[in-house]
């Protein structure tokens, strides 16, 4: 039982990885999720992916300790039921673990994808050695995950840890959750693109229009990061503002939870120091009672593998 399988079940692709002796990914397989093809079909594709992964590595079920799956959405880890996932058509109260057991006789555990990211950081990433960590995953949305006292924390509803919906400005824009001024409304990819476009429309000089052939609707955070790297003041201003909002949330987390480390991950973390410097500046001026110096602020070192490694961690946690 030296092997563990971790799966990152995304709305577009599903990726499965096989680890040997907890640590090293020795094989991986990827296929399209086909999220609109119905629950039973997605589960069948998952089972086929697992089988292909094991066959390719010459590993049998008897050698595998279990399967961990990171799933976007609101779910119950104990019952293995996904209450709702916005990424999958018709996934309301679906018994994911039971359905997968019709195809594979291995222990299967599920966890929300951002919580998987938090588990990955805790065991393999920036949170190694810490007992209290918070993860902010900045991407299409802003996800959050908490490890407190060495355990995943999701509160009384199992739905807690939604750090992207901490309000950082009561007069801010409307968030998809219905509230106003959530961190997500400022720090998700589209919000960063919109903020940049607005500055350009106000006539700010910038390299960005040239980088997107004049089509400001095609601005992405990666373009804004590239422009900042080239010394573009408008792009740097965007990151300063976005980082300030992330910093306000981070300072609040430090006061409420006193974590040893806050990890910033997700695709937008690719902006690196342009994002992290204003986060640090803001935290230093706002984390006072529980001082900023008690908490490290770090970029995720795991990149795209954070969710996979977290799904693997989940199986290790169950020992
Ligand atoms: Zn919100």
**What is residue 303's predicted lDDT score, i.e. its pLDDT?**
86
Rounded to the nearest angstrom, the distance between the alpha carbon of 178 and the centre of ligand 1 is 6
pLDDT band at 319 (very low <50, low <70, confident <90, very high): confident
Instruction: Choose among 47, 19, 65: nearest CA to 309.
Output: 19
Is residue 216 within 8 A of residue 199, CB to CB? The reply is no
The neighbour count for residue 86, using CB atoms within 10 Å, is 12
* Residue 111 pLDDT exceeds 90: yes
| Domains of the chain as residue ranges with CATH | 3-119+305-317 (3.30.420.40), 129-301 (3.30.420.40)
Is residue 265 within 8 A of residue 124, CB to CB? The reply is no
Residue-wise over 49-66: b if at least 16 C-beta within 10 A, else e? Answer: bbeebbeebebeeeebbb
Q: What is the mean pLDDT of residues 282-289?
A: 98
Residue 254 CA to residue 275 CA, distance in Å, equals 18
Rounded to the nearest angstrom, the distance between the alpha carbon of 301 and the centre of ligand 1 is 27
In eight-state DSSP terms, residue 286 is H
Residue 122 in tokens: 């805790």
Residue 167 in tokens: 């309000």
In sequence order, what are the residues at sequence separation of 6 or more whose Cβ sits closer than 8 angstroms to the Cβ of residue 44? 103
**What is residue 21's predicted lDDT score, i.e. its pLDDT?**
82
**What is residue 86's predicted lDDT score, i.e. its pLDDT?**
84
Rounded to the nearest angstrom, the distance between the alpha carbon of 235 and the centre of ligand 1 is 25
Residue 16 CA to residue 67 CA, distance in Å, equals 10
Give the tens place of pLDDT for each residue, 134-191: 999 999 999 999 999 999 998 988 888 999 999 999 999 999 999 999 999 999 999 9
Q: What is the mean pLDDT of residues 116-128?
A: 95
Residue 164 in tokens: 């992207």
* Residue 70 pLDDT exceeds 80: yes
Residue 61 CA to residue 55 CA, distance in Å, equals 10
Rounded to the nearest angstrom, the distance between the alpha carbon of 70 and the centre of ligand 1 is 22
Residue 288 CA to residue 271 CA, distance in Å, equals 27
Look up tokens 């300030």; give the residue: 244
How confident is the prediction for the chain on average, in pLDDT?
95
Rounded to the nearest angstrom, the distance between the alpha carbon of 1 and the centre of ligand 1 is 42
**What is residue 304's predicted lDDT score, i.e. its pLDDT?**
85
Rounded to the nearest angstrom, the distance between the alpha carbon of 286 and the centre of ligand 1 is 22
Residue 71 CA to residue 300 CA, distance in Å, equals 20
Rounded to the nearest angstrom, the distance between the alpha carbon of 141 and the centre of ligand 1 is 10
Rounded to the nearest angstrom, the distance between the alpha carbon of 82 and the centre of ligand 1 is 21
Percent over 90 (pLDDT), the chain: 91
**What is residue 264's predicted lDDT score, i.e. its pLDDT?**
97
């Amino acid at each position: 039982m030296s092997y563990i399988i971790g799966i990152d079940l995304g709305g577009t692709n599903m990726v499965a990885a096989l680890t040997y002796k907890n640590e090293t990914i020795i094989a991986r397989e990827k296929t399209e999720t086909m999220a609109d093809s119905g629950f039973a079909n997605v589960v069948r594709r998952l089972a086929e992916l697992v089988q292909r992964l094991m066959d390719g590595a010459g590993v049998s079920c008897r050698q595998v300790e279990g399967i961990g799956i990171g799933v976007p959405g609101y779910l119950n880890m104990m019952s293995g039921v996904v209450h709702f996932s916005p990424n999958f058509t018709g996934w309301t109260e679906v018994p994911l673990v039971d359905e997968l057991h019709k195809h594979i006789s291995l222990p299967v555990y599920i966890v929300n994808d951002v919580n998987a990211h938090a588990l990955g950081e805790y065991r393999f990433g920036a949170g190694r050695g810490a007992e209290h960590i918070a993860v902010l995953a900045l991407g299409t949305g802003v996800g959050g995950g908490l490890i407190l006292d060495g355990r995943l924390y999701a509160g009384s509803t199992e739905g807690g840890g939604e750090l992207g919906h901490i309000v950082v400005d009561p007069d801010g824009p409307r968030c998809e959750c219905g509230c106003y001024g959530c961190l997500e409304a400022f720090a998700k990819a589209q919000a960063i693109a919109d903020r940049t476009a607005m500055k350009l429309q106000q006539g700010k000089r910038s390299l960005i229009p040239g980088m997107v052939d004049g089509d400001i609707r095609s601005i992405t955070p990666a373009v804004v990061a590239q422009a900042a790297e080239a010394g573009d003041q408008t792009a740097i201003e965007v990151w300063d503002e976005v980082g300030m909002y992330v910093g306000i949330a981070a300072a609040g987390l430090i006061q409420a939870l006193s974590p040893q480390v806050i990890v910033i991950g997700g695709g937008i973390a690719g902006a690196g120091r342009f994002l992290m410097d204003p986060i640090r500046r803001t935290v230093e001026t706002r984390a006072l009672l529980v001082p900023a110096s008690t908490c490290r602020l770090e970029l995720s070192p795991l990149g795209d593998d954070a969710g996979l490694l977290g799904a693997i961690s989940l199986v290790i946690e169950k020992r």
